[in-house]
Structure 1
């Protein structure tokens, strides 16, 4: 039987207005007011948008639509497998859908074995075995023929899901302080889903106007299928740093986000360098385990792409292609040569697009002094006796 028939009716649309970094699946009776609550607060403090169902879930045949949508629109799912997790048919249905998303779209899945053994989950022993026996008992006592048939099929799917879930590398909470465990877990999760912590944003002294301009461009809702921003200027002036700052700030606003750094360096003297970048870009955008190399624009998601340090038209055409992007997609290009973007194939097509150019210029003198002091003296002021040499450095570097 199709998965949609087991879990419930398919949503009328695959486009979800609400996007989440993390979906929390847990047995409410065990951990809602303890471990899961503490984990949820820690995830939120780390600026990870997390879905946690705040209502106690009554028994039912299908997942609530909002739960199904939240799972499908999350980058990662964390499954807190506790003693009574398998007693909830809703938890088991969540698990089935989460693993389906993992298989089809490479959604990150991390099981947490909360005072239960992975073997008990895998083989349905102890509390997990008791829970499955109880579900079977209810199925056998069901008088409605159709409901009985559905429960029979569900139980088999649940068993397979529990076995599959326990085979995914998970983490165990045993004789550890939960606060320390949660702190380490959240840090590792941020790395795995590549979500930057706000405090790790690069320092951009004297670039306030540039940040404001590019941020406004990033947040601008557009009916175009793609908005392209070219940040151009001399080498070392901060184009890459500005692009990364914007990427880190807004990557979670998109269905898919990818930043490709140091493109010109990776292509120099490497025959397959550009092809390798294209393959990786397609895989990261599609989130598929394997993909035939084609235009990255062939995607059903609103994407944010940063192409850093482009120095040839071949690089742009290979990485961007010339086909239609999903509405609202954004592309940031950093380059020393503004004419490259204007000559790329994508801008020659009839695809709805908008190209914005932003010249990045040098810093004003007060910002230069502040930047030098930050790196040389770990502060904002010149140290006594260093005034003359600092002035010479600033003149030399301009």
Structure 2
């Protein structure tokens, strides 16, 4: 029982104490409701104690169990009088139970009630007191209550009473400690997914369907707080409810059957203990199909775990609702009709407001700490967990130095609360998923995911499965152009893992990854490269690119390095044995002097990026292409001195060739036909090209980009590039013709001719089979009468 009972139970002991009143008392207390009852009862001339009166005053609800002899008890009448007095103050509720009596007899004080008052009069009780008792009892008799008689199923009626008490007391409201900011729009969207209308401020169910919704997002984003808020708005509409918190911890400690037992006990309002999980599942499936339930499952690991807890929606009564929180987006993968809601971090203004509520108990910062507060909101990227932790810690001090030091610390490292939350999530990743997560945090954030896939494939990291898992956990997002995106706060966390790696915080050369520009330079210049370093990224953001130089033998010793990014550094000499395991060389803007002196072995290279460099047709490095049997990606973006492509040996298995921005490129070497494995060709901005190269050998080509070239005509041979899905020819100012050979492109789904000079379109483009999306924006010369023109410049919806 709680320390302060909220329900006062009034009854005449001899009538109901050992039967109904005990049963009702136990049902209320088992539901977690504090109940006070007069254990002794007052008969004869005994006076009711002040403590008893005080209990009624302090209670929110009174439940008088009015039996035939109720009015014969002086204490019951005094209690009734006090109940009505509290009722008139509008802070008290009376729920009368008419126990085998007619409510009209109570309203009009007839039958046994009239006899009881005559007896009190005969015992010397004055008329004024009797009239006061009568008035109180009559008032209670007029209230809506619960009649109990032979035709009423007592157990079911008692459950209804307990449910009403819970609604009035809101005993099922979950505690939400954190101040709420920006949740209203989220709540509205979740309510809509659960088929509730909240137009008048109250939740009203639309139909009697059962619904399930998943709230997912990164750790610390406020999933549980939001779910509790929705739960509190809905629980009074259900027969029974359950909130299971910190499920993972409970499963780790006691196993899943412990969580199942708790769920069943909550829904049944009675403790149940099953030894085996299957027994618990069978019980749920058999006993709750008629109950309209509300269940909140907090921190579900995956869909297998969800199935082990609630099975299918049809196990529960119509109108049931299940709310699930998880870090994973794929928890509902096997549940038809379930909805998902991704909870993201707060926008800057809302983040500042939430921080201020924790730090100042205000919605905006005082002028003295305004700048620091804004910087904290930005540094934490609107993550509620961080805003709460930092806000609470700073609320205890007004010393400016502590504030400035906190801001500085947050801008270079995660807050400890964030580190703990993210670390817990990170440890649940598989080893290969962890490796890819760290690679992205250190090197590939914002990059086209298809490029690092080749390196990860070569290292057997299972990138498709790993990226899907990271995406499902909201640790990465995939952009419209297939770029991998990681939030800054996650990127910072990933780099911190690397910084703390293997306890080598003070020995950067012993870490697996080096991505801090200054520390990388220290390693290279100090000849500290060791077998520990597997990936090294030299990147400049301070304008020093191109001014960094050192000899190649200074990076000798990086035998295990599979990724090397040198970012315009001027490296002289040869690489020695550091390239024995090199899979990806990213040397954008490499100086020409390197080409004649380097002794780089290309036999294990998978990706070579020489973008914005000075490579030319006669560059001596092209001779090594014959060694590059594993090379899959060659990027030459922005190589302005390149006028002709190199000679491609027959042994090459290149899949992606990027020549974008090579504005002086005018000649495609005939050996281009050796690239039979090519799937992606990008010649965007190659203004010197006036005709397409021979693409017939590229039987696997899927994407062709020729935007901004000087090509005049697009024509294909029958049977060529049947797998091509996307053809982009935007802003081709000299393109005047696209022939009907486009019909040979059997797999084409996207065609863009925006800004071209074409006069007409081939008839085959207008057929239902070709292509699903065709865009001809800003094609000023295109005839309006061109056949099929009505379908252009919009997406056609057909099978």
Query: What corresponds to 1:342 in structure 2?
Result: 333
2:374 is equivalent to residue 391 of structure 1: yes
Q: CA deviation at 1:393?
A: 1.5
Whose Rg is larger?
2
In the aligned structure 2, how far is the partner of 1:95 from the partner of 1:397? 63
SS in 1 for 2:299: strand
Q: CA deviation at 1:255?
A: 0.4
2:308 is equivalent to residue 318 of structure 1: yes
2:358 is equivalent to residue 375 of structure 1: yes
CA-to-aligned-CA distance 1:218-265 (integer Å, 9 cap, x gap):
535355652001111111111100110111121111001111111123
Query: What corresponds to 1:215 in structure 2?
Result: 191
Indicate if the aligned counterparts of 2:241 and 2:295 stay in contact, CA closer than 8 A.
yes
Indicate if the aligned counterparts of 1:206 and 1:364 stay in contact, CA closer than 8 A.
no
Query: What corresponds to 1:328 in structure 2?
Result: 319
Query: What corresponds to 1:124 in structure 2?
Result: none
Given the superposition, is the C-alpha separation of residues 228 and 252 from structure 1 closer, same or farther in structure 2, using an over 3 Å criterion?
Answer: same
Indicate if the aligned counterparts of 2:179 and 2:354 stay in contact, CA closer than 8 A.
no
2:278 is equivalent to residue 278 of structure 1: no
Indicate if the aligned counterparts of 2:97 and 2:146 stay in contact, CA closer than 8 A.
no
Q: CA deviation at 1:290?
A: 3.7
In the aligned structure 1, how far is the partner of 2:146 from the partner of 2:215? 48
SS in 2 for 1:231: strand
SS in 2 for 1:257: strand
Match of 1:57 among 100, 103, 115: 103
Given the superposition, is the C-alpha separation of residues 95 and 273 from structure 1 closer, same or farther in structure 2, using an over 3 Å criterion?
Answer: farther
Q: CA deviation at 1:59?
A: 4.6
Indicate if the aligned counterparts of 1:105 and 1:287 stay in contact, CA closer than 8 A.
no
In the aligned structure 2, how far is the partner of 1:318 from the partner of 1:359? 23
In the aligned structure 1, how far is the partner of 2:248 from the partner of 2:343? 19
CA-to-aligned-CA distance 1:150-190 (integer Å, 9 cap, x gap):
xxxxxxxxxxxxxxxxxxxxxxxxxxxxxxxxxxxx99x94
2:153 is equivalent to residue 196 of structure 1: no
Given the superposition, is the C-alpha separation of residues 240 and 51 from structure 1 closer, same or farther in structure 2, using an over 3 Å criterion?
Answer: same
In the aligned structure 2, how far is the partner of 1:97 from the partner of 1:231? 45
Query: What corresponds to 1:37 in structure 2?
Result: 84
TM-score, L = length of structure 2: 0.28
Query: What corresponds to 1:101 in structure 2?
Result: 155
TM-score, L = length of structure 1: 0.54
Q: What stretches of structure 1 of length at least 5 have no aligned partner?
A: 1-6, 8-20, 61-82, 110-185, 349-353
In the aligned structure 2, how far is the partner of 1:318 from the partner of 1:40? 47
Match of 2:64 among 19, 25, 36: 25
Indicate if the aligned counterparts of 1:234 and 1:336 stay in contact, CA closer than 8 A.
yes
Indicate if the aligned counterparts of 2:231 and 2:296 stay in contact, CA closer than 8 A.
yes
Indicate if the aligned counterparts of 2:281 and 2:309 stay in contact, CA closer than 8 A.
no
The aligned length equals 262
2:355 is equivalent to residue 308 of structure 1: no
Matches within 5 A, 1:128-143: none
Q: CA deviation at 1:94?
A: 4.0
Given the superposition, is the C-alpha separation of residues 53 and 283 from structure 1 closer, same or farther in structure 2, using an over 3 Å criterion?
Answer: closer
Match of 2:225 among 241, 244, 250: 241
In the aligned structure 2, how far is the partner of 1:39 from the partner of 1:374? 37
CA-to-aligned-CA distance 1:286-345 (integer Å, 9 cap, x gap):
2234465235354121001011111123321111123532000000011111112123xx
SS in 1 for 2:332: helix
Given the superposition, is the C-alpha separation of residues 202 and 100 from structure 1 closer, same or farther in structure 2, using an over 3 Å criterion?
Answer: farther
Query: What corresponds to 1:148 in structure 2?
Result: none
In the aligned structure 2, how far is the partner of 1:326 from the partner of 1:224? 9
In the aligned structure 2, how far is the partner of 1:37 from the partner of 1:243? 39
Indicate if the aligned counterparts of 2:303 and 2:333 stay in contact, CA closer than 8 A.
no
Query: What corresponds to 2:567 in structure 1?
Result: none
Query: What corresponds to 2:241 in structure 1?
Result: 257
Q: CA deviation at 1:102?
A: 8.9
In the aligned structure 2, how far is the partner of 1:305 from the partner of 1:22? 27
Indicate if the aligned counterparts of 1:201 and 1:248 stay in contact, CA closer than 8 A.
no
Match of 1:226 among 188, 202, 210: 210
Q: CA deviation at 1:392?
A: 2.7
